[in-house]
Structure 1
């Protein structure tokens, strides 16, 4: 049901403007977004439902995308309750539709966005999630790293910094001044000159090589 407020302006003069009608739906609507990323080396279907929904998570009505490998798709959700949104996210292999995994009761507040990454961990289909944390800096590259294998990330710039990133985890932010010659994944130099300076990115890597870069925003 839509509730409307009538907001009158001015006094009783015949020249007074007409009342403005403001919908409560416009005032209270809240939105979140989920970036659905597949690096599992096979097609994957993503499912999302509101936590507490009695329908099975992997019901056809909860499927929100079917992603080929190395694909990133976006899914938005709107609601009007003052409470945060609680969702369950699942993935299923597209071909056999027999392999499933899920993450339950993910809590997101208004305007927040989430990474949901499908990947293979020792041959097992795996799902990892984390809230997006954009932190752009003018004239610099701002990155976080998600790795599917244990790795060391080194930045050789004005200062040298080295960070360990465990498989299946999201690193803290790192700052890079030049797109070439500063970032190393393990022992491998990694070029990010295809990215836009002044923006914030998640780099998805296999430990030594960059698989996919997506903007956090």
Structure 2
């Protein structure tokens, strides 16, 4: 009888891929994290996430089974949860299915039980994306914004206080007390009158001004 059971178990395991075994959910959310996906481009985008194998080998993330979201320009943002494995290495890939743009891929080692922001943006005519921690910084009576620059040599001015921005990086939160004209980027007034005072946002900016605004 033991021999029969052993043979049956071997058959069952051989029918499962190594990926099925390593990512099987045994009732625990231990390796899950939340992601806010933001499309700050003029394109419709597909987002893909593929866990690396436990031995560290990266999987090609371009397959349909790894697609986690399709986000239009109008939709702009979507929330998902993703379960990585014990190796914590994930390949992130963004692709514009209806445009002649090369997809962009990055690999990150993520942490469990975190809140991430995965931002797709345009670097000139090239598609790019960035992953960083997402958090709120609400303050009564102010619109709180982190600025993300998609161009070089950008400088923000908030009610007389200046701050140099770094392309591809999110700044610390700043407090804006006037929704139109209180914040400027390279001399261009940024209209935030569709935002709510007392809430916090990611503000994506270019040399032309505001690109997108995402609630945190």
The correspondence of residues 66-85 of structure 1 with structure 2, limited to 5 A, is 66-69=70-73, 71-78=76-83, 85=88
Contact map agreement 2:95 2:104 (CA 8 A) in 1? yes
Please say if 1:121 is aligned against 2:123: yes
Partner of 2:132: 130
Q: How many residues align?
A: 186
Match in the other structure for 1:188: 188
Is the CA contact (8 Å cut-off) linking 1:51 and 1:105 kept in structure 2?
no
- Structure with the larger strand share: 1
Residues 1:60 and 2:64 aligned together: yes
CA distance in 2 between counterparts of 1:91 and 1:118 reads: 7
Q: Find the residue that maps to 2:65 and give its secondary structure.
A: helix
In 2, the alpha carbon distance for the partners of 1:129 and 1:84 equals 18
Which is richer in helix? Answer: 2
C-alpha deviation, 1:185, in angstroms: 1.4
Match of 1:109 among 112, 124, 129: 112
Q: CA RMSD in A?
A: 2.6
| CA distance in structure 2 between the aligned counterparts of 1:114 and 1:37, rounded to whole angstroms | 11
Q: Provide the rounded CA distance (Å) in 2 between the counterparts of 1:166 and 1:74.
A: 26
C-alpha distance in structure 2 between counterparts of 1:166 and 1:43, whole Å: 26
